[in-house]
Structure 1
Amino acid sequence: MDKLNAMAIFVRVIERGSFSAVARELHTTQPTISKVLRALETELGGKLISRSTRKLSLTDEGQRYYSHCRQILAAVDAAEHSFQSGKEAVAGPLRIGSSVSFGRLHIASRLAGFLDRYPQVQVDLQLNDQNQDLVSEGLDVTLRIGELRDSGLIARQIGTTHRVTLASPAYLAKHPAPQTPQELARHNCLLFNLLSSQNQWVYEKDGTRHSVKIKGNAQSNNSEAVREMVLAGLGIALSPLWLFFDDLKAGRVVALLQDYTPQSLPIHAVSAPNRRQSARVKAFIDYMADALTQAPELQPLR
């Protein structure tokens, strides 16, 4: 038995949750995949997977073995990639994931420059405000804003989202601007509800942390919808500077609480741990890291 191949099939079955899906990927049959895993279990001397009519689940031993297999396969891929470094052309399909607003404003607008540099790459940009599953959606790389919850991913921080508290002149004409974070509790605050800390806004000033629980009568899972609410004078938002960069310059919104620094959010380029990072993935991550470093809307508010 090819142990490494069996380990790779085992990991893929767990990731896809289906013997038949992996069989289709590998252009083989479901009985063949089952035979490989039975042989692996026989050699190990125990069950890896508990099978039912509805789903697959790992045994305790299987969970430990799965974690080790992922590390081993990632190490093998890294070794091969290190050997082949410099030989692989930057070419082929590249499937990229991102949130809707960031992808539209900061990835789509930069693809022309990337593809001018690497004309043999074919990009498929998939936008979704829910965190996309790299494996099940077939993504090569995804850009995520915020702290990563899955420590098993391969991640590189390529930028920072600085946030700003703001409101429209129309809202401020009816409601005095808050002078401290605590005063936000008396205002109508608009929520982007995909952040884990959605109703707790945190600031820092002179080394002191200020946390305030906010409330409001409107929220959304899309940051551009929150932007439209702010522009319409509905309330105050704590949002990415890049989302309101042009609005601030044009005076359509006003920055508030500038003596207090909101928590910033990292921007990571993320890929699956058991997938070798191809030359085109590396080229895209390097390109975006350089572009975001130079982007004025990704710098702190002056």
Structure 2
Amino acid sequence: MDKLNAMATFVRVVERGSFSAVARELQTSQPTISKVLRALESQLGGKLLARSTRRLSLTDEGQRYYNQCRQILAAVDAAENSFQSGREIIAGPLRIGSSVSFGRLQIATRLPEFLRRHPEVQIDLQLSDQNQDLVSEGLDVTFRIGALNDSGLIARHIGITHRVTVATPDYLVQHGLPQTPEELSRHNCLLFNLLTSQNFWIYEKDTQRYEVRIKGNAQSNNSEAIREMVLGGLGIALSPVWLFSEDLKAGRVTAILQEYTAQSLPIHAVSPANRRQSARVKAFVDYMSQALESAPELQPIK
């Protein structure tokens, strides 16, 4: 038995919580993964995992062994990287996380060019509008918009999401054009409810800050759903410029309150603190950082 490979498989099973998920990642079968774990347990002389029909959980011995395995694998990884200094190949699986809209519109569209440059990378793009747990989801890197609450992660600032206040021309004809942020309180405002500041929209003008409590009859945890509501004439939204860039060009929506600067949101690439960033992770984060810096749809409305 290849002990190091068995340890790596064990760690991956713990982090993914599923034999079948790890089998898919390693392009093998679930019985093969089970066989590796049984052989490891046999050699150690005890159970690492308590298996049930619904979930996997670590035994006390398994928890200690898992912690030690992570340290050993990190040390091996660091030693190899030091030996190969400057020669690490950009290849292998890369599991990326993102919110649904940002992943679909800003990441997926850029994957063909990245893979053209690095054809030996295999990408698995996982999209969710909930903050993904990097360890349990087995993610190498995830992209998050807004303030970061978890200080135990490695985060790199790679861009800014400028936001714009929008509504359809028909809505504005019917309900009037807000001239100041305070007037938003009299309008139907559509809430993206995953931001900590969801009930407050924040603007600045001439060093003065405006914090407006807004209300409306619809909300969603998906920004593309908010876009569809706006396009349906339901109300006003404060959303990323990149979400409405084509609609603004086509005149389907109108940017309002442009004399006021809406609060922008940072974009971070986030990795687990205990996992060294591989060459493929660094290459992809560098690529996305450069792409976002020059993307016209990520620039503020002028």
TM range (shorter): 0.7 to 0.9
Task: Pick closer, same or farther for the CA change 1:181–1:75 going to 2, 3 Å.
Answer: farther
1:160 corresponds to: 160
Map of 2:36 onto structure 1: 27
Question: How large is the RMSD of aligned CA atoms in angstroms?
Answer: 3.7
Q: Where do 5+ consecutive residues of structure 1 fail to align?
A: 1-7, 39-50
> Could you tell me which residue of structure 2 aligns to residue 243 of structure 1?
243
Establish whether residue 257 from structure 1 lines up as the match of residue 257 from structure 2.
yes
Question: Judging changes above 3 Å, is the alpha-carbon distance between structure 1 residues 32 and 268 closer, same or farther for their aligned structure 2 residues?
Answer: farther
Q: Corresponding residue for 1:5? A: none
1:124 aligns to what SS in structure 2?
Answer: strand
- Cα–Cα, structure 1 residues 94 and 56, in superposed 2: closer, same or farther, change >3 Å? closer
Partner of 1:118: 118
The offset of 1:17, in angstroms, is 8.1
Partners in 2 of 1:232 and 1:216 — Cα distance?
15
Percent of aligned pairs sharing the same letter: 71
1:152-187 CA-to-partner distances (Å, cap 9, x unmatched) read 111111111000111100100111111111111110
In structure 2, the CA distance between the partners of 1:172 and 1:77, relative to structure 1 (3 Å rule), is same
**1 CA distance for matches of 2:251 and 2:17?**
51
- Contiguous gaps of at least 5 residues in structure 2: 1-7, 23-32
Q: Compared with structure 1, are the counterparts of its residues 70 and 123 closer, same or farther at alpha carbon in structure 2 (3 Å cutoff)?
A: closer
| Contact in 2 for aligned 1:146/1:266 (Cα 8 Å) | yes
Q: In 1, distance between residues paired with 2:264 and 2:249?
A: 21
State the partner residue of 1:267. Answer: 267
Check whether the contact 2:191–2:226 (CA below 8 A) recurs between aligned residues. Answer: yes
8 Å CA contact retained: 2:12, 2:138: no
User: AA paired with 1:27?
Assistant: V
Q: What is the aligned length?
A: 284
Aligned 8 A contact 2:168 2:252 in 1: yes
- Which digits, 9 at most, give the CA deviation of each residue in 1:51-93, with x for residues without a partner? 9x99989xxxx9xxx8xx9999878855753553322111111
Separation of aligned partners in 1, 2:42 and 2:160:
47
Instruction: Please list, as runs of the form range in 1=range in 2, the aligned pairs for 1:195-206 lying within 5 A after superposition.
Output: 195-206=195-206
Compute the displacement of 1:27 (Å).
3.2
| Matches of 2:266 and 2:260, distance apart in 1 | 19
| Counterpart residue type for residue 220 of structure 1 | S
Q: Is the contact made by 2:81 and 2:88 (CA closer than 8 Å) also made in structure 1?
A: no
State the partner residue of 1:174: 174
CA-to-aligned-CA distance 1:98-120 (integer Å, 9 cap, x gap): 11111111111111100110011
* Aligned position for 2:3: none
Instruction: Report the CA distance shift for 1:200/1:80 in structure 2 as closer, same or farther (over 3 A).
Output: farther
TM-score by length of 1: 0.79
Following superposition of structure 1 onto structure 2, how do residues 62-211 of structure 1 map, counting pairs within 5 Å? Answer: 81-211=81-211
Aligned to 1:286: 286
Amino acid corresponding to residue 292 of structure 1 in structure 2: L
CA contact (8 A) 1:231 1:252 kept: yes
TM-score, normalised relative to structure 2: 0.79
Residues 118-148 of structure 1, C-alpha deviations (whole Å, 9 max, x = no match): 0111111111111111111111111111111
CA–CA distance in structure 2, aligned partners of residues 164 and 109 of structure 1: 22
In the alignment, the residues of structure 2 paired with residue 77 and residue 26 of structure 1 have an alpha-carbon distance, to the nearest angstrom, of 25
Aligned partners of 2:221 and 2:267: how far apart in 1?
Answer: 18
1:74, 1:273 within 8 Å by CA — same for their partners in 2? no
CA apart distance, 1:300: 1.4
